[in-house]
């Protein structure tokens, strides 16, 4: 057999990799290839933290390949040109890659498929994209029936997953560029990239009778607790497979010691299925990348105040739960899911700023920024998407903080100017008297900003804007 090219895109792993498995079957040797597309530099949606994480993942993958007698080949250029060149240099007759669903990826892959022998494999999701459909073959646009049909396919088991190869026959003589070094300072990068780290995090979260997964249902909305898996950046770049995660969730459900523990594992599985749902939505309805799923909401008259937007981005709105979350995002490239909803609601429904501004900002800063899930989450919170929260559902930033960060632990960790504010005022510090502000060393309007909008008045304004296009 001739060599095969494993074109690595969002599957930086050796375990349970269907594209790698196909390449091993198709060729006598395999050339693991990653292409540094110039489109990375041109895209406003590509953030430096995410690129740093990606490049760190490539270095980890290269080390794993070298331990198996192979190595990663990195090339700069347009994918079609690079693939043709590597095919010529290596003598490869087939290219194997994991299929993607973004409009950009599908346009690119369609052009390449017309000229080169590429096989696109499943692997982006646990169930193949388009496998979960209604009886009439049309895509689901509501999560609950999608989830129900997804689960009817039966549990995913560890034994169904593909083993990582012990040895990888490589194609010799292929030159490789250096992997760019964009590593941020350690204090700004809480996620160590690579498949090994992903597997360790998964084990820490799911293994053992007292594993955090069993408390997930009860604690998942608390940004002040270490209650989530921390796996989202690894899922984003396929450093762990979606099937691997789903199989771990099913295993935890089967070994749970009681109903509450099983519920925790079930809720975590549901979150994985939400990801599958949004991937399928993006695949079937690509217009969501630029507009509302429910197109009537594209007529909303946004205020789009640039100064308010800058204040939101910088975490200076005067609402502590919002500001703490935005500063966490700027520092670490990550944000808790509950606070993602809170800050998104505040931008759209308190400041009346187009959800697409927030979506773009998140994609520029999130290590786990994913075109399908980021878009789906923003449209859900804005009330303009598929299976969306009703437009009249508006998160109150004060009550959200009081409910999910009751002692202010999360807020104080990111807003040092509020560290001495008593818990009863931590989510509404402007209610402190002058004496209380002095005692807390926190003068409102000086040490910490006053709220930029009144939440009640803002709610009335946004309701009017939505009603104008929904009636």
**DSSP letter for each residue of 273-342:** HHHHHHHHHHHH-GGGGTS-SSGGGGG------HHHHHHHHHT-SS-HHHHHHHHHHHHHS---HHHHHH
Q: What are phi and psi of 20, to 5 degrees?
A: -65, -45
Q: Of 75, 94, 123, which marks where a domain is finished?
A: 123
Does residue 181 sit within a domain? no
Co-location of 264 and 322 in the same domain: no
Q: Are residues 87 and 136 in the same domain?
A: no
- Own/partner pairs for 41-48, CB < 8 Å, 24+ apart? 44/360, 44/364, 45/360, 45/363, 45/364, 45/369, 45/371, 46/363, 46/364, 47/333, 47/363, 47/364, 47/365, 47/366, 47/367, 47/369, 48/182, 48/184
Residue written as token pair 């360790």: 200
129 in a structural domain: yes
156 shares its domain with 279: yes
The model's pTM is 0.95
Mean pLDDT taken over the chain: 95
State the DSSP code for 184.
P
Q: Which two tokens stand for residue 224?
A: 């002040």
User: What pLDDT does residue 158 have?
Assistant: 87
As annotated, the active-site residues are 271, 274, 302, 337, 355, 378
What CATH number is associated with residue 89? 3.40.50.620
Q: Which domain covers residue 205, as residue numbers?
A: 125-160+195-284
Q: Residue 40: what pLDDT? A: 75
Question: Residue 407 and residue 327: Cα distance in Å, rounded?
Answer: 19
Could you give the 3-state DSSP secondary structure of residue 345? helix
pLDDT value, residue 392: 77
Does residue 322 fall inside a structural domain?
yes
Question: Is 180 a domain residue?
Answer: no
pLDDT means per 10 residues, the chain with 471 residues, are 95 98 96 92 70 94 97 97 97 97 96 98 97 97 97 92 93 90 65 96 96 97 96 98 98 97 98 98 97 95 97 98 97 96 97 98 95 97 85 90 98 97 98 97 97 94 92 65
* Cα torsion angle, 65, 67, 70, 73, sign: positive
Q: Is residue 188 part of a domain?
A: no
Q: What pLDDT is recorded for position 169?
A: 84
CA distance 56 to 272: 24
Cα separation, 60 vs 291, in Å, equals 37
Q: What's the number of domains the chain is made of?
A: 3
Three-class secondary structure assignment of 125-180? CCCCCCCCECCCCCECCCHHHHHHHHHHCCCCCHHHCCCCCCCCCECCCCCCCCCC
């Amino acid at each position: 057999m001739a060599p095969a090219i494993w074109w690595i895109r969002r599957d930086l792993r050796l375990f349970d990799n269907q594209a790698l498995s196909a390449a091993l079957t198709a060729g006598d040797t395999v050339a693991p290839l990653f292409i540094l597309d110039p489109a990375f530099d041109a895209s406003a949606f590509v953030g430096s933290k995410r690129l740093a994480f990606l490049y760190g993942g490539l270095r980890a993958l290269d080390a794993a390949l070298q331990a198996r007698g192979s190595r990663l080949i990195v090339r700069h250029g347009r994918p079609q040109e690079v693939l043709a060149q590597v095919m010529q240099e290596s003598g490869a007759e087939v290219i194997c890659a994991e299929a993607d669903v973004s409009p950009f990826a599908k346009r690119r892959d369609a052009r390449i498929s017309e000229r080169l022998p590429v096989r696109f494999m499943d692997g982006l999701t646990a169930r193949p994209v388009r496998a979960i459909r209604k009886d009439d073959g049309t895509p689901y646009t509501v999560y609950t029936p999608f989830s129900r049909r997804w689960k009817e396919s039966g549990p995913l088991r560890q034994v169904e997953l593909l083993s990582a190869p012990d040895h990888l026959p490589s194609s010799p003589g292929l030159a490789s560029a250096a992997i760019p070094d964009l590593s941020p300072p350690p204090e700004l990068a809480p996620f160590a990239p690579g498949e090994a780290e992903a597997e360790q995090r998964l084990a820490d979260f799911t293994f053992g009778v007292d594993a955090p997964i069993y408390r997930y249902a009860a604690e998942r909305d608390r940004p002040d607790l270490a209650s989530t898996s921390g796996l989202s950046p690894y899922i984003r770049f396929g450093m762990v497979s979606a099937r691997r995660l789903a199989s771990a969730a099913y295993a935890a459900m089967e070994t749970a010691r009681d109903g509450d523990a099983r519920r925790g594992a079930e809720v975590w599985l549901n979150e994985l299925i939400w990801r599958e749902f949004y991937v399928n939505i993006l695949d079937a309805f690509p217009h969501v990348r630029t507009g509302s799923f429910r197109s009537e909401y594209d007529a909303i008259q946004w205020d789009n105040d640039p100064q308010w937007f800058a204040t939101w981005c910088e975490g200076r709105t005067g609402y502590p739960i919002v500001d703490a979350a935005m500063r966490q995002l700027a520092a670490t490239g990550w944000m808790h899911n509950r606070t993602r909803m809170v800050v998104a609601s505040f931008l759209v429904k308190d400041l009346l700023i187009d959800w697409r501004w927030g979506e773009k900002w998140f994609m520029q800063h999130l290590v786990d920024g994913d075109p399908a899930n980021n878009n789906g989450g923003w449209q859900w919170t804005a009330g303009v998407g598929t299976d969306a929260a009703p437009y009249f559902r508006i998160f109150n930033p004060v009550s959200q903080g009081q409910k999910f960060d009751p002692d202010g632990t999360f807020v104080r960790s990111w807003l040092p100017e509020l560290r001495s504010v008593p818990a009863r005022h931590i989510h509404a510090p402007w209610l402190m008297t002058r004496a209380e502000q002095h005692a807390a060393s926190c003068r409102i309007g000086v040490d910490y900003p006053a709220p930029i909008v009144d939440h009640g008045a803002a709610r009335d304004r946004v309701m009017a804007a939505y009603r104008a296009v929904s009636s």
